[in-house]
Chain A
Amino acid sequence: MPVHAIVGTQTVPIDITLNGESRSLDVSPATTLLDLLRHDLALTGTKKGCDHGQCGACTVLIDGHRINSCLQLAVMQDGKEITTIEGLARDGALHPLQSAFIERDAFQCGYCTPGQICSGVALIEEGHAKSREEIREHMSGNICRCGAYPNIVDAIEDVLVQRGQFMKEAAE
């Protein structure tokens, strides 16, 4: 791999796969992934709630892992596969967790919702949460000021049950 030394305001070329699409971009070193998405790529579904990793509204999937995009520099994403809320629906069909969020009324203002859903999608793939208690802990990286937590847990539980990943006896 070539060594890059980039000075000041110079931009750096990166190649990423964004929501399934290859993108070649020039980014400033001081630009976070979150600002790249929101300002430069008009993907405003990913939200800025605190810009410091204290709320989870900016959660995206990087190589399948949920990550706070506000703390990631865009320049470091070269070669990564990034999925945002805009990339979860396939062929016009919502991801089951998106549908479950609507059905369970798992949001009010909607601002934390994309981060909650990206986080929940990752939680389901991780497979560590098998009870409501574990869902709560594993979703605690996403603050919801409207207080939709019980409904968020319901929505995730629904999808886990659909997938046979939920231990009913562990439920309260």
Chain B
Amino acid sequence: MLKNDTHVGSPRSRVDGPAKVTGQATYAAEFTAPDLAHAYVVGSGIARGTITAIDATEAEAVPGVIKVFTHENRPGTAWFSYKYQDMVGPPGDPFRPLASDEIQFSDQPVALVVAESFDVARHAASLVRVCYEQQPHETDLSRARHDSYEPPRKRTGIAPPPKPRGDAVKAFGEAPVRVSAEYTIATEHHNPMEPHATTVIWDGGGKITVHDKTQGVQNSQAYVASVFGLSSDDVRVVSPYVGGGFGSGLRPQHQLFLAVMASLALERSVRLELTRQQMFSHVHRPETINVLSLGADRDGKLRSIQHQAVAATSRFEDHQEVVVNWSGLLYPAENVDLRYELAKLDTYSPGDMRAPGAPLGVFALESAMDELAIATGVDPVELRLRNYAERDENDDVPFSSKELRACYRQGAEQFGWSRRNPKPGSMREGRELIGWGMASGVWEANMMKTSARAVLGADGRLAISCATSDIGTGTYTILTQIAADALGLAMEDVTVELGDSSLPTSPVQGGSWTAASAGSAVMAACQTLRETLFKQAAKIDGSPLADAAIDDVAFSDGRIVLRTDAARSVLLADAVGAGGHDKVEAEEAAGPGLIGMMLPKSHASYTHAAVFVEVRIDEDLGVMRVTRVVNAVAAGRILNPKTARSQIIGGVVWGIGMAMHEETLTDHRLGRMMNHSLSEYHVPANADIQDIEVIFVEEHDDKTSPIGVKGLGEIGIVGTAAAIANAVHHATGKRIRSLPITIDKILAG
């Protein structure tokens, strides 16, 4: 399996490329219907309180307005809170739009205007008058952290911190070298380029087709069915293209609820597209405060690791991430104490954002390791090698594979790390101080149970389908490669259909697990298809393969060929026909434990990376440029080096944004996020990004997934911000422990 592959492992252009470069790829807000109505959300101006009066008369009087929905007139939906739970949500009571007069966060939807045109809906929305009774709110984590708590109910799939090992406090006190500091990361918003949008097509008879911006069509489908009491046959969610997700599309967002509510009530098609400002009214990465203390011997060998984090959550849900566990995983120490707590704010619930938790905790850990390198005089790479974890001490299991050592070595060599003068401020060119910094990255390698269908037609064309999404990750392309190789076809002869809830079951696209999971499912379906095809081919009267076993044949160039005698072969089309039907079909599921894999807990599976960064900082003005990045990644088998490289580059760009730009600013008096635009919430622009080199370190892993894949969507971001902060210190001697590192912080130091 996957040996001598034509396509897998080779660079291939995206199969959805032609659709995307010609504008033919259709996103959630781009589906339409003759009876389409347009909806627009009215948001709350306060963070906490109650609506005392809401007056939509003026709005409803605007010609073209169909209806204004508020908490006073909105149709009934499911009563119980659990009905609003989705597949990946945290413990708590999910937000219910327009459910009552209660305001739980600023810009909370308080009304939905539905009109015949977008212009009219937008205009009428400005005429809805709302009066509030305000109650005191809290949006400031620096105050709320003092009321932090350990989440009583754990979020499924999120490992709580491991039990303490040894006595970290005592060992820290006795350690000859100690570093201890607080590290903070600002609130961030995903800001995918495509705003969240839902188009509900009213199919008649109570049936709807929903085009939702989501990373999980079946999650959206189940949510809609549950909340609105519909049969799952009556709701189909179809989202073939998603304009970026980064986690923001994992859970159903409120535009889905509102659009479906309006469509069902009005019995017509409805589209709701959030504005960019409204994109700041829902999911975000929680502001997180880390306190990290390392105690070590003079040679840098760690004795004690303490990492406590407090992360923001909403008042109604306990969103949880893995923030501190990385500190017990990346480096071994006999004394480890990791704690993770939450603090409640009057905001919408935070949610997963690219590598949730990891770049937050790892920023703290890898900054502290840099501080330890300086305190001990040990080179940062050498310090990490001296503290290399040979097994996962959190769970006391071996790694399925771990080539982090090679990442350090190859990354350092490519970067030219040996030419680094360790003295801060020692490297310069003209008025620019040059800083070289590095950090490690780590992320979970998971596989989730996923199904896929493979159908080979008599025309020799193979159709693959799976409900998973392609949010830009390259899923269409890698599945095409896997399927084409499995059946010996050209990629042009394979079509892949994704993002439709009626297709074989898949979890949400997240956690970097899609390539391993959907890829394995497609592989399994194709394997079954091969067996069926071979049997049918062997049964043909006078078949040249009559006496062969399946291991004796290869599938290539549209034929089943005897390996020992290429002249003996059967056309795939003939093999299809021999079954008496015009197609052969197979559907298979793949998942951990399903195909003879080891039980998950017997091994720990992680991807790793070593990130090396050069920054240049104007010594007088504090203007910083990231001029060079080398990211060496060990992530098992690389299915498509071209799209894989893009994934890592994207992660690095996110790391640069996290390090230098991204920060949602809240006015705590108003309880309102204020830089709710792409002009004031800065993400990197083209000019901010220079050379990014990606190295894929050879890594063999036969335990994480049947196809040797570990996943790439998240590892690129994880160590990048820390590497930049470390480079800033190397350039300037200033240790900046709160992200983003803006010009004012560099000047102040």
Contacts and interface: CB of A to CB of B under 8 A. Distances in A.
**Within 8 Å by CB, do A and B touch in the complex?**
yes
Nearest to B275: A51
Contact of A48 (B32, B63, B195, B649): B195
B13 interface: yes
Interface string B44-82: 000000000000000000011000000000000000000
Interface string A80-101: 0000111011000010001101
A130 to B, nearest CB: 16
B30 A112 contact: no
B18 A94 contact: yes
A46 B29 CA distance: 12
B30 A44 contact: yes
Interface in B182-222: 191-195
Interface stretch (B19-27, B415-423, B729-737): B19-27
A147 B246 contact: no
Contacts of B473: 108
B651 interface: yes
A108 B276 contact: no
B21 A101 contact: yes
B119 A105 contact: no
Contacts of B26: 44
Nearest to A119: B686
Contacts of B564: none
B5 to A, nearest CB: 20
A52 B686 CA distance: 19
B529 to A, nearest CB: 29
Contacts of A31: 119
A47 B194 contact: yes
A49 B683 CA distance: 13
A9 interface: yes
A117 B21 contact: yes
B661 to A, nearest CB: 11
B666 interface: no
B23 A44 contact: yes
B472 A110 contact: yes
A78 B547 CA distance: 75
Contacts of B654: 147
A85 B18 CA distance: 12
Nearest to A118: B23
Contacts of B692: 150
Nearest to B30: A44
B691 A149 contact: no
Interface stretch (B237-245, B285-293, B335-343, B446-454): B237-245
A103 B12 CA distance: 9
A84 B21 CA distance: 11
A98 B650 contact: no
Contacts of B119: 28, 30-31, 35
A54 B194 contact: no
Contact of A107 (B21, B32, B652, B685): B21
Contacts of B16: 110
Given A35-B118, A47-B194, A142 B22 contact: no
A147 B691 contact: no
B13 A102 contact: yes
Given A9-B63, A51-B275, A147 B684 contact: yes
Contacts of B30: 38, 44
Contacts of A114: 21, 23
A34 to B, nearest CB: 10
Contacts of B678: 49-50, 52, 54-55, 143
Interface in A52-71: 52-55, 57
A109 interface: yes
A156 to B, nearest CB: 10
Contacts of A28: 117, 119
B653 A110 contact: no
B23 A46 contact: yes
Given A30-B119, A52-B276, A54-B679, A45 B22 contact: yes
A72 B135 CA distance: 41
A151 B649 contact: yes
B748 interface: no
B25 A105 contact: no
Contacts of A45: 22-24
A50 B650 contact: no
A59 to B, nearest CB: 12
A33 interface: no
A152 B27 CA distance: 21
Contact of B244 (A39, A101, A145): A145
B646 A143 contact: no
Contacts of A149: 653, 684, 686, 689
A54 B22 CA distance: 22
Contact of B649 (A84, A142, A147): A147
Contacts of A76: none
A172 B691 contact: yes
A102 B18 contact: yes
Interface string B225-247: 00000000000000001111110
A117 B687 CA distance: 17
B689 A136 contact: yes
Nearest to A53: B679
B243 A48 contact: no
Contacts of B25: 110
A147 B689 contact: yes
B251 interface: no
Given A51-B276, A102-B14, A109-B471, A143 B679 contact: no
Interface in A1-57: 9, 28, 30-31, 35, 38-39, 42-55, 57
B20 A105 contact: no
Nearest to B17: A102
A146 B17 contact: no
Contacts of A47: 27, 193-194, 243
A48 B23 contact: no
Contact of A108 (B13, B117, B118, B650): B650
Contact of B194 (A51, A105, A111): A111
Contacts of B23: 43-46, 84-86, 114
A146 B650 CA distance: 5
Contact of B276 (A50, A148, A153): A50
Given A102-B14, A111-B192, A148-B646, 15 more contacts: A9-B64, A38-B29, A39-B117, A44-B30, A45-B23, A105-B13, A111-B194, A113-B21, A139-B686, A144-B686, A146-B472, A147-B689, A149-B653, A150-B690, A150-B691
26 contacts: A9-B63, A35-B119, A39-B117, A49-B193, A85-B23, A86-B22, A98-B22, A102-B18, A105-B646, A107-B472, A109-B243, A109-B245, A109-B472, A110-B243, A112-B243, A136-B687, A140-B687, A145-B244, A145-B683, A146-B646, A146-B650, A147-B649, A147-B651, A147-B653, A147-B654, A147-B684
Q: Sort A-B residue pairs by CB-CB distance and give the 6 closest, nearest first.
A: A45-B23, A147-B653, A111-B243, A109-B472, A110-B20, A108-B472
